[in-house]
Amino acid sequence: MAEITAGLVKELREKTGAGMMDCKKALQESAGDTDAAADWLRTKGLSAAAKKSGRTASEGLVGLIVEGDSGVVVEVNSETDFVARNETFQEFVRNITKVALTVGGDLEKLKSAGYPGSGRTVAEELTHMIATIGENMSLRRAAGLRASSGAVVGYVHNKLADGLGKIGVLVALESDGDKGKLGALGRQIAMHVAAARPQWLAIADVDPAALERERRVLGEQARESGRPEDIIAKMVEGRLRKFYEETVLLEQVFVMDNESKISKVIENAAKDVGAAVTMSGFVRFELGEGVEKTVGES
């Protein structure tokens, strides 16, 4: 068998556009013959998939499922909304979401988990789907929540099908109170999260780097007033409260009444639920957020 050198792998990568590990495996399967290796990649759908990998996948679907005290949300991207409305793609996302539930929303474990009824992993099935449908796709992210004593509630905004849409939200509430009332509260808060786009649950959760950046910008803005540093410090702290109200869930004003802070809504819910309520976490996935599109894409 011919030696599989780095040069051979590089040559095959340039010829097919496939990934390094796929090229190495193809050469091993083909005894170092680059032409045969290229054919092997094509038969596996890997060459076709790689040729499409330069195109931005910012459409697709967010999948969400809640079972018992656990829930997961995943984002699977495609290039066009047309594919997102394809029943085959929708079933693919739905199946991935179910698998995600079994691994607690861990993305790397999800990729290597078995895809139902295919004999392939989720990652391999994704490659197969790319070759079959003819668009670049990506399993972008996944996350899960669990309530130790309470409820995990899910909400899908802009729903295309059951458990599939453009925005997926999970909320975890801890309480020993009435589960039905707790679920109703969780749904209202999840709808708030979908609309208000919080980044963190509590002030203590705010990323220190983000806070320092905000503090620096606010300080520079305040200094333009020409006021003394002690006054500037007070101005910055006052403006930071607004920053928290915009980005921290428990500090936000509840969109349902435009009056109460979310922290107060949860505190007051104890009377209705029949026990103290705390919020242990939330997840919000919006399709395509943060994906940079290339020039010319809409």
Closest to 283 (Cα-Cα) out of 145, 83, 104, 114? 145
In a structure prediction context, what are the per-residue pLDDT tens digits for the chain, which is 298 residues long?
Answer: 568 888 888 888 777 777 788 888 889 988 888 888 887 886 666 655 555 544 555 799 999 999 999 999 999 999 888 988 999 999 999 999 999 999 999 999 999 999 999 999 999 999 999 988 888 899 999 999 999 999 999 999 989 999 999 999 999 999 999 999 999 999 999 999 999 999 999 999 999 998 988 888 888 788 877 888 888 888 888 889 999 999 999 999 999 999 999 999 999 999 999 999 999 999 999 998 875 444 334 3
Asked if the structure places residue 292 within a domain, the reply is: no
Asked if residue 180 and residue 101 are part of one domain, the reply reads: yes
| Contact by Cβ (8 Å): 29, 37 | yes
Place of tokens 């993305």: 107
| Sheet order of strands, 278-286 included | 150-157, 167-174, 278-286
Q: What pLDDT does 218 receive?
A: 84
126: domain CATH number is 3.30.479.20
Whether residues 191 and 96 fall in one domain: yes
In a domain, 220, yes or no: yes
* H helices present in the chain, as ranges: 6-16, 20-29, 34-43, 46-51, 81-84, 87-102, 107-112, 122-133, 179-196, 208-223, 229-247, 262-273
The verdict on 182 and 68 lying in the same domain is: yes
CB atoms within 10 A of CB 294: 9
User: In whole angstroms, what separates CA 240 from the centre of its chain?
Assistant: 27
- 170 and 217 in one domain? no
The answer to whether position 248 is within a domain reads: yes
Nearest to 92 by CA among 143, 59, 130: 130
Q: Which residues contact 5 (CB under 8 A, 6 or more apart)?
A: none
Residues 67 and 188 in one domain: yes
Same domain, 115 and 178: yes
260 CB-contact burial (10 Å; exposed 0-12 / middle 13-18 / buried 19+): middle
34 and 124 co-located in one domain: no
Same structural domain for residues 129 and 210? no
User: 178 is in which domain, residue-wise?
Assistant: 59-195+279-286
> Do 113 and 81 fall into the same domain?
yes
188 and 208, same domain (yes or no): no
Q: Is residue 178 part of a domain?
A: yes
Return the C-alpha torsion angle 165, 266, 261, 250, nearest 10.
-70
* Nearest to 173, CA basis, from 165, 181, 162: 181
Task: Residue 178: name the closest of 276, 112, 280 by CA.
Answer: 276
Task: Judge whether 159 lies within some domain.
Answer: yes
In a domain, 39, yes or no: yes
Domain count, the chain: 3
Give the CATH number, domain containing residue 36. 1.10.8.10
Do 270 and 151 reside in the same domain of the chain?
no
Of the chain, the end-to-end C-alpha distance in Å amounts to 49
| 145 closest CA partner among 199, 251, 66, 200 | 66
Longest dimension (CA), the chain: 77
CA distance 146 to 181: 18
Do the domain assignments include residue 33?
yes
Token digits of residue 103: 């691994």
Q: Please give the Cα distance from 85 to 76 (Å, whole number).
A: 13
**Three-class SS state of 71:** strand
Indicate whether 22 belongs to any domain. yes
220 and 114 within one domain: no
Q: Bridge partners of 130?
A: none
